[in-house]
Amino acid sequence: MNLLIKSATIVDSKSDFHNQSVDILIEKGFISQIAKTLKNPKKYKELNLDNLHISQGWFDSSVSFGEPGFEERETIENGLKTAALSGFTSVAVNANTNPVIDSHSDVLFIKSKASGNAVNIHPIGALTKESKSIELAELYDMTNAGAVAFYDYQKPVANPNLMKVALQYASNFDGLVISFPQESKISGLGVMNENVTSTSLGLKGNPALAEELQIARDLFLLEYTGGKLHIPTISTSKSVELIRAAKQNKLNVTCSVAIHNLIFDDTELKSFNTNYKVLPPLRTQDDINALIDGLKDGTIDMVTSDHNPIDIEHKKIEFDFAKYGTIGLESAFGALNTILTTKKTVEVLTKGKQRFNIESSPVAIGNKATLTLFNPNLTYTFTKEHILSTSKNSMFENKELKGKVYGIISNNTLILN
């Protein structure tokens, strides 16, 4: 692919052209020239977009598609198209399929289904066989097939010895263990945050304590075993404190937060809209403030859409019985850009690559063109028309967002909305 991009503002702190408005020449998928103004003697296609900003390609560390087994929720093909049009050039895909992705051949299946796509797919293998928390899955074999981490999606490992062994074993090949932060005996049958709101609504509560106990346990295990631990989608102020202290203690731990947990609090559930039923649950405004502070000071390493398509049959039912999950790829940038600066938004959408051993390609001459194109200033109301996923379970519907994605350049391909 050959392309001349005109008048683009670079948003990439690792680029020599950060904050500059430049022309970018791409030849055969690589950035060959960057300058204030470039001519086009070879008559390449030119790209001229309103208030165009460009950064290195974004990465989402927690995406669920459904295929194989739950294609009615989302297919890999449409999921990757959605990711591309939402600005993501790489996604880590969870193992919550049917069958669960827990073997060498399962990982190869995911990668083969995405072969030749503009978006790079990085399978996360299950940590335990069939995600049943009884015995470890084939971690090393899955690594050889291309798995980037190991995680029983939204299923806590109850047995501390199993988590201890996982951390010890994975450290032999620099494997990344992901542990969902919930102590299930404490969370019980809770379907939302345990708080005055849950009492007033008559819904069973899932207390912050359930998350914090599990995190404290896993951090003790990490200190004992060594290894690499990632704690996904934290949601409470105390969780931020625990991880901040662990990092000060030089433990090899990272964490993420779901974008919706940075924006919505548990009072949204007064409508009993099941799109707001997520795991971990929406917490309080005090928790949100602590999470945002944790992002700003680097305690929280990355954000994720935690994109989880759920078909209408499992969402349009009584709140207690509805499945957890919201889609979030399409709204990710516009939502984050309403609460953070554009520079910080781009930073937290790209920062997770290193932890998951994914190639980072700054906007620099000679580098592969792996780029996200966007307008950070356009405000709009997010409606069903903006949803690209097969499932429509978005909690951002009818919310005001700031920032529109134009598309991506990745794997020698230009994809535009």
Residue span(s) of the chain under CATH 2.30.40.10 come to: 3-53+365-380+400-416
Mean pLDDT value of segment 156-170:
98
pLDDT at 34: 97
**Per residue in 90-99, pLDDT tens?**
999 999 999 9
pLDDT over 70 for what percent of the chain?
100
- Check: pTM over 0.85? Answer yes or no: yes
147 φ, ψ to 5°?
-70, 140
| pLDDT, position 183 | 97
Q: What is the mean predicted confidence (pLDDT) over 30-52?
A: 96
pLDDT at 353: 96
Domain limits, CATH 3.20.20.140, in the chain: 58-353
Q: What is the pLDDT of residue 215?
A: 98
Read off the pLDDT of each residue in 153-174 and give the average, rounded to a whole number. Answer: 97
Predicted confidence at residue 348, as pLDDT, reads 96
Distance, CA of 334 to CA of 380 (rounded, Å): 9
- Rounded to the nearest 10°, the torsion over CA 95, 98, 102, 106 is -100
pLDDT digits (tens, 9 = 90+) for 236-276: 999 999 999 999 999 999 999 999 999 999 999 999 999 99
Q: What is the mean pLDDT of residues 133-162?
A: 97
Distance of CA 339 to the CA centre of its chain: 17
Residue 330 φ/ψ, nearest 5 degrees: -65, -30
What DSSP state is assigned to residue 157? -
pLDDT in tens, 182-193: 999 999 999 999
Evaluated on CA atoms 248, 254, 255, 256, the torsion sign reads positive
Reported as a pLDDT band with limits 50, 70 and 90, residue 80 is very high
Residue with tokens 């957890």: 324
Classify the C-alpha dihedral 388-391-396-400 as positive or negative. Answer: positive
Predicted pLDDT of residue 195? 94
Copy the structure tokens of residue 199: 């009492």
Mean pLDDT, all residues of the chain: 97
* pLDDT at residue number 404: 96
Catalytic residue check, 60 = no
In 356-417, alpha helices (H)? none
CB 319 within 8 A of CB 242: no
Domain 3-53+365-380+400-416 has CATH 3.40.50.10540: no
Catalytic residue among 60, 306, 311, 320: 306
58-353, what's its fold? TIM Barrel (3.20.20)
